[in-house]
């Protein structure tokens, strides 16, 4: 969304003229706080010495084009871009570095460490699912909000994606070996895992907790393949909360059982009053055995066949089962099949993914349009594509034996992204997409898909 396209070429200069400089300036950009139509915004502008450098101008444009399509609570929303500046939502908070200086004992509590790491990992996971590597995760690029102490990940200037695979820098103290050329392995999702381990180690400077330090060391393994995946890390940090929750639930249940036991024992009648004649027990059994509902004179409901008597329990279950319905259609993709010839190039991998994902897209689109359910299409196709890519990346990796599993995964996400961008270019009544169209992204997607469809 280049503001110059809307006749507001001078909006950045106007905003900066009335803006308040912030102390969040980085090595390449100055930052400002301003108001746009009463809304608080954050302005990031290249320093004067970099404003004519095409590398930094391209990096800033790349950050906006990638950030504009992202929507996650751990990421600020990008609003507009003009030449050498970006306007985005203002995050009311401070960097992680400043936060620790102001709250040195905050991370002395395990629950605060778990909360911070869970939110950071969820944000990075969302980037990875959108085929984006941050590649510059560090305390200065992690902000903590004043309200709730929530995590916000900022600065996508050095990020990497299939569409923008050039990056011009990194921060040495938080960079993985493969970023510094110490390894022949390409950057991947494991590169951000290394930086996450560094950040975990950073917040533990005052707290020597063995369990967390062990996790941080595993994340910083020199071998990228030995670093834990992000799902594994999420389970490690959520396990603490689950264990505590289970202990509390067990304690509450024990307490309830003790109270009930005391109440029953205190009110227990004499033994002789408890004994009932055998005849009454027999009568009770007979009453239970003869409980039924007669439906001879009733109309048929839910296609129940005519019978003299129907047990009450069976009738109830049938009614409940038949009454359950969902307006949202479901789609189960077929078992994958790979009849194609073996290939080694990235393009061939992407073509294989396209042959798997495109039929699913076409079938789901037809089904959802027929049932007037386009409101659910994007999220359902996303879940279906994610699951297929996650489940089948190993199978495709066996076929393309010289390509790593992470590259296989990233190629699948790239193909999925191209299909979505193509989908956003369709009319609203077909795509159900309400945000302003992005002709540049749609054009790029169509060009990529044309390559996938070539044999």
CA distances from 306 to 160, 275, 299, 321, 323 (A): 67, 44, 9, 19, 20
113 and 173 in a single domain? The answer is: yes
23 and 132 in a single domain? The answer is: no
- State how far the Cα of 56 lies from the Cα of 158, in Å rounded to an integer: 10
- Give me the CATH number covering residue 177: 1.10.510.10
Tens digit of each residue's pLDDT (9 = 90 or more) over 267-285: 655 444 444 444 444 454 4
The pLDDT of residue 343 is 42
Could you say which of 90, 119, 134 is where a domain stops? 90
The pLDDT of residue 133 is 94
Q: Could you tell me if residue 332 is inside a domain?
A: no
Q: Could you tell me if residue 338 is inside a domain?
A: no
Q: Which residue has the higher pLDDT, 46 or 313?
A: 46
Tens digit of each residue's pLDDT (9 = 90 or more) over 187-230: 999 999 999 999 999 999 877 788 899 999 999 999 999 999 99
Q: What's the pLDDT band for 325 if we cut at 50, 70, 90?
A: very low
Tens digit of each residue's pLDDT (9 = 90 or more) over 427-441: 766 666 566 667 777
191 and 224 in a single domain? The answer is: yes
Q: Is the pLDDT of residue 33 over 80?
A: yes
Could you say which of 90, 114, 129 is where a domain stops? 90
86 and 99 in a single domain? The answer is: no
- State how far the Cα of 50 lies from the Cα of 272, in Å rounded to an integer: 96
Mean pLDDT of the chain: 77
Q: Encoding tokens for residue 62?
A: 């790349």
432 and 370 in a single domain? The answer is: yes
- Give me the CATH number covering residue 58: 3.30.200.20
Q: Could you tell me if residue 444 is inside a domain?
A: yes
Tens digit of each residue's pLDDT (9 = 90 or more) over 75-101: 999 998 888 899 999 999 999 999 999
80 and 27 in a single domain? The answer is: yes
Q: What's the pLDDT band for 261 if we cut at 50, 70, 90?
A: confident
Q: What's the pLDDT band for 140 if we cut at 50, 70, 90?
A: very high
300 and 424 in a single domain? The answer is: no
Q: Is the pLDDT of residue 383 over 70?
A: yes
124 and 50 in a single domain? The answer is: no
Q: Which residue has the higher pLDDT, 288 or 434?
A: 434
Q: Which residue has the higher pLDDT, 172 or 436?
A: 172
The pLDDT of residue 312 is 41
- Assessment of whether the complete model's pTM goes beyond 0.75: no
- State how far the Cα of 256 lies from the Cα of 245, in Å rounded to an integer: 17
Number of domains in the chain: 4
The pLDDT of residue 21 is 87
Q: What's the pLDDT band for 46 if we cut at 50, 70, 90?
A: very high
Q: Could you tell me if residue 35 is inside a domain?
A: yes
Could you say which of 59, 90, 121 is where a domain stops? 90
Q: Is the pLDDT of residue 353 over 50?
A: yes
Q: Could you tell me if residue 20 is inside a domain?
A: yes
152 and 235 in a single domain? The answer is: yes
Q: Could you tell me if residue 64 is inside a domain?
A: yes
Q: Could you tell me if residue 220 is inside a domain?
A: yes
The pLDDT of residue 392 is 78
Q: Could you tell me if residue 196 is inside a domain?
A: yes
221 and 98 in a single domain? The answer is: yes
84 and 117 in a single domain? The answer is: no
The pLDDT of residue 300 is 37
177 and 224 in a single domain? The answer is: yes
- Which residues span the domain enclosing 431? 346-453
Q: Is the pLDDT of residue 311 over 50?
A: no
């Amino acid at each position: 969304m280049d503001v110059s396209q809307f006749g507001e070429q001078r909006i950045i200069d106007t905003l900066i003229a009335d803006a308040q400089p912030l102390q969040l300036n980085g090595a390449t950009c100055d930052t400002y706080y301003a108001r746009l139509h009463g809304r608080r915004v954050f302005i990031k502008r290249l320093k004067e010495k970099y404003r004519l450098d095409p590398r930094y101008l391209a990096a800033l444009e790349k950050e906006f084009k990638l950030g504009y399509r992202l929507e996650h609570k751990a990421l600020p929303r990008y609003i507009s871009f003009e030449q050498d500046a970006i306007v985005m939502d203002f995050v009311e908070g401070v960097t992680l570095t400043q936060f620790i200086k102001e709250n040195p004992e905050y991370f002395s509590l395990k629950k605060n460490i778990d909360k911070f790491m869970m939110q950071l990992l969820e944000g990075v996971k969302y980037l990875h699912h959108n085929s984006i590597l941050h590649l510059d995760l560090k305390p200065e690029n992690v902000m903590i909000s004043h309200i709730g102490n929530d995590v916000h990940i900022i600065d996508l200037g050095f990020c990497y994606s299939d569409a923008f695979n050039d990056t011009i820098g990194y921060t040495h103290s938080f960079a993985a070996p493969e970023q510094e050329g110490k390894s022949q392995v390409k950057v991947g999702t494991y590169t951000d895992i290394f930086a996450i381990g560094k950040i975990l180690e950073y917040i533990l400077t005052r707290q020597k907790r063995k369990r967390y330090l062990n996790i941080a060391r595993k994340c910083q393994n020199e071998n990228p393949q030995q670093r834990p995946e992000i799902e594994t890390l999420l389970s490690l940090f959520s396990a603490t909360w689950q264990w505590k929750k289970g202990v509390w639930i067990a304690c509450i249940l024990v307490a309830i059982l003790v109270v009930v036991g005391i109440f029953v024992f205190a009110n227990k009648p004499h033994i002789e009053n408890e004994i009932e004649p055998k005849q009454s027990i027999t009568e009770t059994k007979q009453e239970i055995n003869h409980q039924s509902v007669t439906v001879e004179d009733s109309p048929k409901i839910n296609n129940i066949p005519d019978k003299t008597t129907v047990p009450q329990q069976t009738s109830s279950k049938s009614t409940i089962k038949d009454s359950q319905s969902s307006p949202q259609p479901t789609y189960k993709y077929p078992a994958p099949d790979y009849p194609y010839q073996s290939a080694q190039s990235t393009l061939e991998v992407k073509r294989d993914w396209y042959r798997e994902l495109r039929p699913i897209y076409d079938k789901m689109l037809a089904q959802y349009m027929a049932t007037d359910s386009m409101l659910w299409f994007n999220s359902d196709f996303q879940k279906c594509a994610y699951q297929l890519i996650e489940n089948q990346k190993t199978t495709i990796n066996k076929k393309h034996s010289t390509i790593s599993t992470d590259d296989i995964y990233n190629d699948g996400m790239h193909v999925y992204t191209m299909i979505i961008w193509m989908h956003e270019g369709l009319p609203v009544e077909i795509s159900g997409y309400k945000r302003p169209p992005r002709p540049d992204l749609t054009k790029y997607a169509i060009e990529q898909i044309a390559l996938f469809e070539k044999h």
